[in-house]
């Protein structure tokens, strides 16, 4: 999850960080593009909701995913 403002003066997130996540197929959530990101775990899986599209994404049955 990248917490950053839209068009921020620091250029966050760094292009290298985004590239590393993409290369490893790590889901990326960005507050500058998706607004608020809400993540909840029941101890087995993560449910992630984004403000911009109201999508709910559930990640695996392993709390480490």
Distance, CA of 12 to CA of 41 (rounded, Å) = 26
Up-side HSE of residue 13: CA atoms within 13 Å toward CB?
17
Q: Which residues of 51-60 are buried (b: 16+ CB within 10 A; e: fewer)?
A: eeeeeeeeee
**pTM score:** 0.69
pLDDT in tens, 29-57: 999 999 999 899 999 988 888 888 665 56
3-state secondary structure of 23: helix
List the chain domain ranges.
Answer: 15-54
Two tokens, residue 52? 């911009």
- Grade residue 23 by pLDDT with cuts at 50, 70 and 90: very high
> What is the model's pLDDT at position 52?
82
């Amino acid at each position: 999850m990248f917490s950053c403002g839209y068009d921020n003066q620091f250029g966050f997130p760094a292009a290298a960080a985004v590239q590393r996540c993409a290369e490893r197929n790590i889901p990326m959530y960005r507050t500058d593009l998706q607004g608020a990101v809400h993540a909840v775990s029941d101890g087995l899986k993560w449910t992630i909701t984004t403000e911009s599209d109201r999508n709910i994404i559930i990640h695996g049955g392993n709390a480490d995913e």
